[in-house]
Amino acid sequence: MLFKKILSAVSLAVLTFATTSSPVLAVPEKRALFGRYNDMDCKPSSSKPDPVILLHGLLGNSGEFAYIGPRFALKGYCTYSLDYGHIPGIPILGGLNDLMVSAMELSDFVDKVLAATGASKVDLVGYSEGSTLARVYLKYFNGTAKVNHVAAIGSNQYGTTLANIVTILKAAKLFGAVKGALNPLCKACFQITVGAPFLDQLAEGGDTYPEVKYLMLVSK
């Protein structure tokens, strides 16, 4: 229950950032929740012109947004989520593949959403690794021309220690060996860790773009 309350509060903050608040849709909640979420027939309103695309975290999938996603739809947004970064032979768990491959998947999905909705730009909301994926898309796939807002929950911008696992492995001088063994199964794991060359390259030229609005939500 507490987790749901936290997610609800985060959703409200992101929605407030993206646009001014509006009345709840005058339809039954169940219909609003499931009728517009991941609905390619959804057409954006003039007050909420940007479709929202939700990006899950490492080892996750679009099911992470089973609570938040429908609530964006309830507020009147055309809202979508996708599974990205899957490696063949590893079911359910996403976000594992090379982030450049995942960003290409995101690029294709953004184009699909724009074509279906008739919108000119989307808003990206990333959780954890999803926040890094948004930046990869902006930098390497002309995302700045197709994205209005980027918001992030539990933002991972300057690298993660994977709950201190990386710190412990480096202290024990085992990081290189573990990376060599696990990299084929989780390429993204070693692209988003503290000190990863991939993050250094991503940061070259600056962290942000003036044509995109940003919101990063993070707690201790």
Chain mean pLDDT for the chain: 86
The predicted-structure confidence for 120-157, as pLDDT tens digits, reads as follows 999 999 999 999 999 999 999 999 999 999 999 988 88
Arithmetic mean of pLDDT, 29-42: 70
Question: What is the CATH superfamily name and number for domain 2-217?
Answer: Alpha/Beta hydrolase fold, catalytic domain (3.40.50.1820)
pLDDT value at 35 more than 60: no
* Residue 144 CB neighbour total at 10 angstroms: 15
Arithmetic mean of pLDDT, 29-48: 78
Cα–Cα distance, 37 to 39 (Å, whole number): 5
Is 192:132 a contact under the CB 8 Å cutoff? Answer: yes
Domain spans in the chain, listed from the N-terminal domain onward: 2-217
Looking at residue 218, its pLDDT comes to 81
